Structure 1
Amino acid sequence: MSRYTGPRVRVMRALGYDLPGFSRKKIERRPYPPGQHDQARHKHSEYKVRLMGR
């Protein structure tokens, strides 16, 4: 299995929670998802809610 060398904090911000052992940084610094327009709160789709429930 290869090592993930991409933007780790961006992935954690997109998911909305910290992944243990993924990065020493915390997402409290920027609690909103990544992207240009994602500082505004958006309603999660039903699909995302089901995926987050797993």
Structure 2
Amino acid sequence: MVIAGLFVQWPVEFAWQEVTAFYAIFGFSAFTFLIYAAKGLRLWLSKDEDYYKKKGV
């Protein structure tokens, strides 16, 4: 689609859609955000390895 977008004028509804490779950049940005958000949640939600073991056993 990126290569085709260089030669074909696609119909657009919004100004930002005219940017070359807009959807590729948008998808990569969303993917990167999800990865870093998951890493942050992992630090916040993770428990120790022996968290569920009975104490004193």
Question: Under TM normalisation by the shorter chain, which class is it?
Answer: under 0.3
Give the TM-score of the pair, scaled to structure 2: 0.18
